[in-house]
Amino acid sequence: MSGIIGYGAYVPRNRIKVEEIAKVWGADAPSYKKGLMLEEKSVPSPDQDTITMAVEASKRALKRAGIDPKEIGAVYVGSESHPYAVKPSGTVLAEALGATPEVHTADFEFACKAGTEGMFVALSLVQAGAIKFGLAVGADTSQGAPGDALEYSAAAGAAAFIFGNAPLVAEALETYSYTTDTPDFWRREYQYYPQHGGRFTGDPAYFKHIMGAAEGIMAKAKMKPSDFQYVVFHQPNGKFPLRVGELLGFEKKQIEPGWLVPKLGNTYSGSSPLGLTATLDISKPGDMILIVSYGSGAGSDAFIFKVTKRIDEVRDLAPKTRSLLDANKNYLEYGAYAKYRGKIRKAD
Amino acid sequence: MRNVAVIGVGMAKWGELWGKSLRDIFVETALLAIEDAGLDRIDSMYVGCMSPGLFIGQEHLASLLPDYLGRNPVPTVRVESACSSGGLALRQGFIDVASGMSNIVLVGGVEKMTDVNGHEATYALGTAADQEYEGYHGLTFPGLYAMMAHAHMAKYGTTREQLAMVAVKNHDNGSKNPLAQFPFKITIEGVLGSVLVADPLRVLDCSPITDGAAAVILCPLDMAKRMKKPGVRIAGSGHATDTIALSSRRDITWIESTHLAAQKALAMAGRKIEDINLFEVHDCFTIAEIMATEALGIVKKGQGGKAVQEGLTSLRGRFPVNPSGGLKAKGHPVGATGVAQAVEVVKQLRGEAGARQVGGAKLGLTQNMGGTGGSSVVHIFEAE
């Protein structure tokens, strides 16, 4: 059997509160906090990007996997904020980890589900016997246009997973994907900020695809919500994952361990993968975990994992995700945030 | 002038109809009205639609709609008077039949509002205000009605809770209307705790963005009697305008155009306001219903808030207002709203309104308003 042999998370230490953003735009902070169930979000430092965060998360995954990087046969980075439009992120990551040159590398882009796309392919290559180990990372330094609702949620973070056949931390029991042509969110080339379809991003987009994928994989695996200890959904805001969980018949206690968004924001390609790392951090051998991502455009990838006894051996080999969220925080004012995010630039 | 009857009504479920275009929504609804009327002839059509150009990039509905309904070459007129487009289309259809120019007229209203985002929809709706003196200075409709609400509260002591009671009442009624966009109840606490839009108005004080259509079929009363259709007659029609800019009004707590349109409609019908059994009024914001009940003469100036608090305008009150759920709960596809009000009143007078039926209703009134009251159309319907 194949599955996860190591996992790692990375979250920048900078934060900005909803109140601080709302203050600048004259917006009603309580409305955003209640409406989107957001409190604060992570912000990358000026010298951080998708690649640096991918490296941090992957090193932690390697610590938990305990393997020689040279044995990694594939390195995939999923992001919508690759630093270069042309020139891969994956090559830099593979080089930094010491996995080059005998390695297949690719960058993925599919709005917020690019991370699980990489996971899907890396796992599949391991299952096919084409590679021994495969690394997949979901990482983003996502941008929301100034004053747009997205600015309150667009955050930064990365999660990395190494797939292999042994020693398994979590066995992959089932995969499933659900995809349609649904234009709910997009960014054209040369555009700096994405655009979105407002309420169209809800029912016909997020909810339709997550429910399609969740119901599809449970039917395929002949399982029901009560068969899972935990479930992780893509989290563009605090409300959507709780609502979709309720619609599917999950209880809040199944969602909560991976529900990071109120304190983290939406890390796009890192969103549901980071939720999975936080869930693995607290899981016990035998626990069943369902993860369903969502990427605008639109599609969802779903995985069912069964946690093995090895979780107890690897859990403490790298920082736990919740500890990254809660410790060593540095709160920014909007001015510094605007500079860090390139919203304002120093004159030449 | 000939007497005019409504012999068919049509309306389908309203909401965010992502899978349907404007033409789909219109045709589906028009066919329901045609089926209800039980006839296969239309002499002319009048369709209220406020801003297809801004909402879907399409004008020339006068060709498009009969084309997709399979009714070319029927003469068709698209009527625009902002949010009172539907009510005005009904009035034009009424005049056409009453004058003897046409015998069978389809009056429709339609708006497809969700193809654009919230900002674009707010802009499109904002074109109903005075662009040079209001719009260019940043005013939008929630802002204009918020000022009207503040003025009403200051002048008459109308309370924040009374505004909320309008929304609660209309959602209560709307929960009994399966075609409503939001067929569920809400609470006063829910309204007071909802997202602030323009102080004092919160999101649950505001009518929503809606895709929807409504249609009625008119013909001479004599013809309706020969066809043995359950008869509802248009007994009165009134239309009045006022300054487009709120700042030009003598009193921003009073909707003069609605008052004048109601006086004309009542005079034509030979009725007093006390004779009317139910009202469908233009509650685009909660304060608008309070002002409408005053302008129509249901209550005295300044008493609209008290009236809703005391239950006078509830479904089982003396003067039921918005049994359909109103714009608040049923939805507000702007061009369709005025026609949908007529659909509700006809259903009520036929005794077909189900759980929200006003018992023994013989006379019903619709009040449809454009902008902040720059135009108003009032109709009175009587069961034959």
Which tens digits make up the pLDDT trace of A191-245?
989 988 888 999 999 999 999 999 999 999 999 999 999 999 999 999 999 999 9
Angle at B20 between CA B19 and CA B26, to 5 degrees: 165
Using CB atoms within 10 Å of the CB of residue A252, give its burial: 0 to 12 exposed, 13 to 18 middle, 19+ buried: exposed
Looking at residue B41, its pLDDT comes to 95
- What residue spans in chain A does CATH classification 3.40.47.10 cover? 3-168+326-340, 170-307
Closest CA to A157 of A141, A145, A176, A168: A141
Q: Domain B140-207+236-383: which CATH class?
A: alpha beta
Closest by Cα among A289, A254, A274 to A173: A289
Note whether B280 and B341 are within 8 A (CB).
yes
Residue-level pLDDT at A197: 87
Residue B282 annotated in active site: no
With an 8 Å Cβ cutoff, are B18 and A203 in contact? yes
Average pLDDT value for chain A: 96
pLDDT digits (tens, 9 = 90+) for A131-142: 999 999 999 999
- Specify which residues A305 forms β-bridges with: A172, A289
Amino acid A327: pLDDT: 86
Give bridge partners of residue B10 from the DSSP assignment. Answer: B215
Report the pLDDT value the prediction gives residue B287, as an integer from 0 to 100: 98
Residue A31 has pLDDT above 90, yes or no: no
Cα gap B335→B154, rounded to integer Å: 32
As a whole number, mean pLDDT of residues B226-235 equals 90
* B195 at interface of A, judged by CB pairs closer than 8 A: yes
Q: How many CB pairs under 8 A join A and B?
A: 21
CB contact under 8 A, B195 and A198: no
Touching check for B196 and chain A: CB below 8 Å? Answer: yes
Evaluate if residue B230 carries a pLDDT over 80.
no
One fold for both B4-117+210-226 and B140-207+236-383?
Answer: yes
What pLDDT digit, counting tens, does each position of B86-138 carry?
A: 999 999 999 999 999 999 999 999 999 999 988 899 999 999 999 999 999 99
User: Exactly one of A39, A40, A80, A117 is catalytic; which is it?
Assistant: A80
Position A143 scores a pLDDT of: 87
Distances (CA, A) of B65 to A3, A86, B22, B213, B261: 57, 48, 9, 12, 29
pLDDT band with cut points at 50, 70 and 90 for residue A177: very high
* Distance of alpha carbon B30 from the chain centroid: 17
A34: nearest CA partner in chain B: B195
pLDDT given for residue B229 in this prediction: 83
Cβ(A294)–Cβ(A202) under 8 Å? no
Residue recorded with tokens 């010298």:
A47
Tell me, what's the pLDDT at A189? 87
| Statement: residue A348 has pLDDT above 90 | no
**Angle made by CA atoms A318, A323, A327, in degrees to the nearest 5:** 125
Taking the C-alpha atoms of residue B166 and residue B290, their distance in angstroms, rounded to an integer, is 8
- Chain B positions touching A28 (Cβ under 8 A) are 195-196
Residues of B in contact with A194 (CB under 8 A): none
Amino acid at B306: K
Return the pLDDT at B377: 98
The model's pTM? 0.87
CA-to-CA distance for A200 and A182, rounded, in angstroms?
Answer: 9
pLDDT tens digits for B78-91?
999 999 999 999 99
Minimum distance, in Å, between the CA of residue B182 and any CA atom of chain A: 15
What is the rounded average pLDDT of the residues A326-339? 95
Give CA–CA dist A259/A277, Å, rounded: 11
Q: What is the pLDDT of residue A175?
A: 98
Please tell me the predicted confidence (pLDDT) of residue B337. 98
**Active-site hit among B83, B206, B219, B284:** B83
3-state secondary structure of B295: helix
Contact call for residues B223 and B8 (beta carbons, < 8 A):
no
Cis peptide before B200 (omega within 30 of 0): yes
Residue among B18, B114, B122 with most chain A CBs within 10 A, to mutate: B18
Domain borders along chain B are 4-117+210-226, 140-207+236-383
- Tell me, what's the pLDDT at B40? 87
Q: Does CATH place domain A3-168+326-340 in 3.50.50.60?
A: no
Distances (CA, A) of B76 to A279, B47, B67, B72: 62, 8, 10, 9
Average pLDDT over residues A320-340: 96
The fold of the B4-117+210-226 domain, in CATH, is: Peroxisomal Thiolase; Chain A, domain 1 (3.40.47)
The hierarchical CATH code for the domain A170-307 is: 3.40.47.10
Distance between CA atoms of B239 and B89, rounded to whole angstroms?
11
Q: pLDDT tens-digit profile of B166-200?
A: 999 999 999 999 999 999 999 999 999 998 999 99
Candidate from A34, A35, A197 with C-beta closest to B117: A197
The answer on pLDDT for A9 being more than 90 is: yes
State the SS3 of chain A: CCEEEEEEEECCCEEEEHHHHHHHHCCCHHHHHHHHCCCEEEECCCCCCHHHHHHHHHHHHHHHHCCCHHHEEEEEEECCCCCCCCCCHHHHHHHHHCCCCCCEEEEECECECHHHHHHHHHHHHHHHCCCCEEEEEEEEECCCCCCCHHHHCECEEEEEEEEECCCCCEEEEEEEEEEEEECCEECCCCCCCCEECHHHHHHHHHHHHHHHHHHHHHHHHCCCHHHCCEEEECCCCCHHHHHHHHHHCCCHHHHHHHCCHHHHCECHHHHHHHHHHHHHHHCCCCCEEEEECCECEEEEEEEEEEECCCHHHHHHHCCCHHHHHHCCCEECCHHHHHHHCCCCCCCC
CB contact under 8 A, A199 and B196: no
What backbone phi and psi angles, to 5 degrees, belong to B257? -65, -40
pLDDT at residue A11 greater than cutoff 90: yes
Residues of B in contact with A198 (CB under 8 A): 117-118
**Are B118 and A35 in contact (CB < 8 Å)?**
no
Q: Which helix (H) or strand (E) holds B196?
A: strand B196-198
| Gyration radius (Cα) of chain B, Å | 19
**For tokens 């399966």, what's the residue?**
B178
Measured CA angle at A210 (ends A209, A211), to 5 deg:
90
Whether B138 contacts chain A with CB within 8 A: no
Please list, in sequence order, all residues whose beta carbon lies within 8 angstroms of the beta carbon of residue A159, skipping any fewer than 6 positions away.
A7, A8, A9, A10, A57, A115, A137, A138, A139, A270, A273, A274, A276, A277, A321
Per-residue model confidence as pLDDT tens digits over B2-46: 999 999 999 999 999 999 999 999 999 999 999 999 998 999 999
Is ipTM > 0.85 here?
Answer: no
